[in-house]
Amino acid sequence: MAKYRHIHVEFWQDPKVLEEMTPEDKYFYLYLLTNPNTTQIGVYQITKKQMAFDLGYSTESISSLLERFNNMHNLVKYNETTREMAIINWGKYNLNKAGKPVIDCVKKELSEVKDKTLLREIMTHIPNESISIEFSRYVDDSCNDTLTIRGQKEKEKEKEKEKEKEKQNNNEDAVAFYQENFGVISPFLVQSIETWEEDLSPEAVIEAMKRALAQNKRTWSYIEAILKNWNSQNLKTINDVLSHELSRKGGVTPEKPESYIDNLF
């Protein structure tokens, strides 16, 4: 079945065409309106490579034309990801009459559009109410999907911020705990504390400090020996340490580190 696309004679009298378009722009616009990929709804898939082949242009020239038509003329929208073209004024001349065959075709083509946000651009220029209603159904769904996705992303960002804030607070607490109980802390020692917090957990580092204090061992080497012992046994958190200690008989207790650590110093 042959396809026809309406190009009104008013095209040549349009002020935008007369005053703003170069001869190349006019040629390109006519191609966008009449090429074999066009659809009833004004959104269709086409690659830059296909456009370049049909027109005898380079893909760089096509990219430049698309940028001009999108940003300067405001006549098209092109999704680089889905390769979908939307002719913004399409409905003004091609969607002004409706009947069952047309509506059926519109419904089918609307369902096949991947980037539904492109439909919003076209819908505002559709004079026929029946067709406009069909567009609005997909546009509304697209808005809801966009809001849902945006909401999910915002929640994920909030969670990331909370984790980062918690991490920063933990780092500050560990450093502050050392300064309050062991004395002045050097930049190198701050870095060591942060490294151990990443390898194990912030609360594990503080717990190791507490255990060193309980044994009156006020040196970083003693604290680090405790941390190395836990790390070798894959004990990453306080719960891991306590569970391990409870499962052993005659082993370490929360008040007393492993006996071999004492023998190291």
Contacts of 257 (CB under 8 A, 6+ apart): 211, 212, 215, 226, 229
Tokens linked to 263? 């023998």
Query: How far lies 227's CA from each of 204, 211, 243, in Å?
Result: 8, 11, 16
> Is the pLDDT score of 118 beyond 50?
yes
* Dist CA 129 CA 147 (whole Å): 26
The whole-number average pLDDT for the span 47-68 is 95
- Cα–Cα distances (Å) from 104 to 89, 111, 131, 238, in that order, read 21, 11, 10, 65
Residues 6+ apart with CB under 8 A from 157: none
Is residue 51 over pLDDT 90?
yes
pLDDT tens per residue, range 62-109: 999 999 999 999 999 999 999 999 999 888 877 877 788 888 888 999
* Interval 206-215: pLDDT, tens: 999 999 999 9
Distance CA 248, CA 261 (A): 17
Neighbours of 221 (CB within 10 A): 10
Q: What are phi and psi of 73, to 5 degrees?
A: -85, -25
Interatomic CA distance for residues 182 and 221, integer angstroms: 12
**Residue (of 233, 181, 251, 237) closest to 205 by Cα position:** 237
Q: How high is the pLDDT of residue 153?
A: 57
Q: What is the mean pLDDT of the chain?
A: 82
User: Alpha-carbon distance 53 to 47, whole Å?
Assistant: 10
pTM comes to 0.52
Which segments within the chain are labelled E, that is strand?
Answer: 43-45, 76-79, 84-87
Domains of the chain plus CATH, in order, are 9-148 (no CATH), 182-263 (1.10.10)
- 171: closest CA among 191, 157, 186, 144? 191
| Separation CA 265–CA 130 (nearest Å) | 86
For 180-211, write each residue's pLDDT tens digit: 899 888 888 998 998 998 888 888 999 999 99
